[in-house]
Structure 1
């Protein structure tokens, strides 16, 4: 069943070279093929395999250059905080110059807006049918565009022009590859996700652990003990009662920073995804009994003062400010958190020794994290565009410069320049092998241990050099790459790899376009859930959870559940 828990893949929003995004990262929600159907996580593998086999290599012209050059229009979301070099812009940079010089493609942006505004802007263009040649959309818009014949069939172009490297990336996960299809035709290019990278780790200030005499957590009871000590035992040794034990925002679950999903996994609860119950029926994780236990634990922590009493009105930005100010010492978050906001904490206080730890369980059964199979953004071609194969060539080019033979040359600068600017931010699209972060971790950790980066290339080389600058000069700006990639078994990516190796990932049983009832009711139910859960944490009766569950079922939950299970059986 092609599935959706309404979660956006988290490789999207932050300016770290460790995160893989599509040009409009705001469109990075989960994949879908058909507007009225879905495929189960156990099914359609054979169909996907057939699709992959149908794309027999025939890429003799994959590297050919347009002569004369072709002018191609596009739109994109941008990182509004990017600092350009003199004379540089989104219209004129190392990528746009190379597109023209090597591919014969003159890329012209009709517009670009901040990533947070992209979906609204492209939605207006779709409504008015005023579309560029190439653009990125979310799964819902992808389905609608394909259904209405507004985007080009890329099947023939893919068969003829896709490089072996592009094929290896797109077809590395057949369910994700199938998500790029509509009625058996390839209609988009997109970045498949790495499931392990969606699972939280626990970020803890090791210097605070040492100050309060505690060790790394092995159970949820240890997590609660650490939270108590970080609140009551003056972990920063400033003589003031001014710290909190666990980071929490008004979003509760999701977002990648101070994300309580990892906390919930410790009690075998699975927020924001669909799971199978003991009978094999697919049910929504947020309304299962385990979630009540999670809320009870958080309520107790709130009563004890281990959680900021104002969390209900603080978003991730406000909590990041508290973290930077040294008021927080433990949070559940994504592997990229050293890039934001923990790196700012390190800059503000060089003694802040943030370390990642694997999620832990309340009992003898290992904690299992949740992830959703999907695509980060759907890049499509206008059906009126006369050169749809240009999208395939741009995808080939992107991968080649980052991970092909060209990565061994001067084109390593395409991923990160010497001054630390992430030049992939300037590319129309960014793509990478799904294993690339783990591959970098292995090579960089080994090179750091030997203090020898010979043979490294592209991101591997720049990441190694950054990690070594941290070790040799203790520059906080370079601590990020050491912590995430270069610190051996304790690096964040090593923990992420461990989740896959140890079967600690539960795959969402629903991904893709929302069902009809989800479209009509899910936003209302999510708002109700947020209000009730926040109220319970802040001292409301736990019985309100049971009332909420009853309301959820009556106000659309039963219909959504039936739709999800019917689609699973149908496919």
Structure 2
């Protein structure tokens, strides 16, 4: 009896053990290399990690009980964890560290530094996204069907980026104090010579009427991310057909704009403006905050280069309106050069870029990622991600358009900013959406400002499309090239270095020591390989 009992006990134990193991074996087979999402057994929620830049970094992160996270869980069966990246180089550093540890998030906003992203592709850390497109037909139709953007996203025949075409790609332009023009009896400048005369009057003829010598004709910030002065100065170089870093004016070939004789002409023009103190002397080191304080609080600039919303959206304009209620900034067309050329800047159609890690696709998370992106593209998911909770942060007007009027915490208020920190991932930039985001308002003296019309004015001016330049990879010594060019331009314009044909030619020859010709040759090859030039 004892022997039979032992045998029966052993058999029962074996059966119990098998009952425990079979679900585990089945679960392993489902998750490894399958198309199903990586989740707990019994169809539990999929865990997804998203890294992105916040829409407004200065206002803080969403609250711990963020309603969006709960709704994504309840409605999509997804546990979404969002990590917000620092702006600029700090964000790139964080992403690079994750890539080095093979720990990239499941999906993420591609860094602005395309070179490091291409390295991740070469290292096999990034998954092609072609298989996701049919899983989100609405979003694919609305956002990912532009042929030029498909070229940008394609590497070795596979699409590695969910690439959108931007709509608001002409945001920065020239603005002029129309009230100063009226007071001094001047007309808007049309040419570089006209602009010089107006800048002189704005600097010397006391346009603000305070009896002090405290105004300047022009001001803008400089940039250090590429060789040159940055976007704030492109309109000057555009007068010679050279608004961007690259000169696209020769069919089938590009070169650095600074090699063109017209570039020297512009530097000479800016040197004259600087010599006559028509530009704020602090311009080489002028921070964005100090620049904006200069025109908002101090009212000392007559012409500026600024983002349309930073200048004319209600919250941003309020300080200027309080300090200068009679002030009036108006869009200014880019000045024409001696041959009638003019470009406000170099435009780029590359918009939002989302990538998926290979690890996430290998774990079967592709369908969940597509499900989330499709949900945020339209209907409830779109409105909630872009604007917040209906009745709290937004509602609809009689025409069915989004509005923040009549709700406790309007989506455009400072208080609401933390709850829609990933809105840039879902914005569509339709006319109705732009009207909601950039609402018109009345100034203290009764004028109506419509920021969308300001943008439309900027966009209506001539621009040179340099989208193709996006595929040009930085030189291995890009920081050295940028530093050499920027330092010399500042020295030429401020008078620290003589500006003659000989000194300029010496500067250009100095590029050879940095192997700039090799970079230009590589750039031409990259454009030809991508089908952007023949």
TM-score w.r.t. the length of structure 2 is: 0.76
User: Which of the numbers 129, 136, 140 marks the counterpart of 1:162?
Assistant: 136
Listed as ranges, the matches of 1:25-104 within 5 Å are 68-78=44-54, 79-82=56-59, 88-89=62-63, 91-104=64-77
**Aligned equivalent of 1:191:** 164
Give, in whole Å, the separation in 1 of the partners of 2:381 and 2:189.
Answer: 37
Q: Call closer, same or farther: CA 1:197–1:319 in 2, change over 3 Å.
A: same
| SS of residue in 2 equivalent to 1:249 | coil
| SS of residue in 2 equivalent to 1:352 | coil
**Aligned equivalent of 2:335:** 360
1:10-39 alpha-carbon deviations (Å, 9 max, x no partner): xxxxxxxxxxxxxxxxxxxxxxxxxxxxxx
Contact 1:76 1:428 in 2 (8 A): no
Larger gyration radius, structure 1 or structure 2: 2
Q: Aligned pair 1:135/2:108, yes or no?
A: yes
The alpha carbon displacement at 1:354 in A equals: 1.2
Higher mean C-alpha deviation, range 281-290 or range 345-354? 345-354
**Aligned equivalent of 1:451:** none
Give, in whole Å, the separation in 2 of the partners of 1:199 and 1:115.
Answer: 19
Q: Call closer, same or farther: CA 1:252–1:263 in 2, change over 3 Å.
A: farther
Instruction: List gaps (5 residues or longer) in structure 2.
Output: 1-41, 396-401
Contact 2:138 2:377 in 1 (8 A): no
**Aligned equivalent of 1:180:** 153
Q: Call closer, same or farther: CA 1:185–1:529 in 2, change over 3 Å.
A: same
Runs of 4+ in 1 over 6 A off after TM superposition: 252-258, 402-409, 473-476
The alpha carbon displacement at 1:459 in A equals: 4.8
Listed as ranges, the matches of 1:363-374 within 5 Å are 363=338, 365-368=340-343, 369-374=345-350
Contact 2:295 2:320 in 1 (8 A): yes
**Aligned equivalent of 2:290:** 318
The alpha carbon displacement at 1:509 in A equals: 4.7
Q: Call closer, same or farther: CA 1:565–1:533 in 2, change over 3 Å.
A: same
Contact 2:175 2:329 in 1 (8 A): yes
Higher mean C-alpha deviation, range 261-270 or range 521-530? 261-270
Q: Call closer, same or farther: CA 1:529–1:352 in 2, change over 3 Å.
A: same
| SS of residue in 2 equivalent to 1:336 | helix
Q: Call closer, same or farther: CA 1:149–1:569 in 2, change over 3 Å.
A: closer
Contact 2:72 2:80 in 1 (8 A): yes
Listed as ranges, the matches of 1:65-464 within 5 Å are 68-78=44-54, 79-82=56-59, 88-89=62-63, 91-109=64-82, 111-116=83-88, 117-138=90-111, 139-159=114-134, 161-171=135-145, 173-194=146-167, 197-198=169-170, 200-251=172-223, 259-277=232-250, 280-324=252-296, 325-338=298-311, 339=313, 344-363=319-338, 365-368=340-343, 369-384=345-360, 385-401=363-379, 410=390, 413=394, 418=410, 420-421=412-413, 422=417, 425-427=420-422, 430-433=425-428, 436=429, 439-440=430-431, 458-461=433-436, 463=438
Contact 1:257 1:337 in 2 (8 A): no
| SS of residue in 2 equivalent to 1:553 | helix
| SS of residue in 1 equivalent to 2:109 | strand
**Aligned equivalent of 1:551:** 510
Higher mean C-alpha deviation, range 561-570 or range 528-537? 561-570
Give, in whole Å, the separation in 1 of the partners of 2:468 and 2:332.
Answer: 27
Give, in whole Å, the separation in 2 of the partners of 1:147 and 1:253.
Answer: 24
Contact 2:170 2:459 in 1 (8 A): no
User: Which of the numbers 433, 455, 467 marks the counterpart of 1:493?
Assistant: 455
TM-score w.r.t. the length of structure 1 is: 0.71
Give, in whole Å, the separation in 2 of the partners of 1:141 and 1:76.
Answer: 16
| SS of residue in 2 equivalent to 1:519 | coil
CA-based RMSD: 3.5
Instruction: List gaps (5 residues or longer) in structure 1.
Output: 1-65, 441-456, 486-490
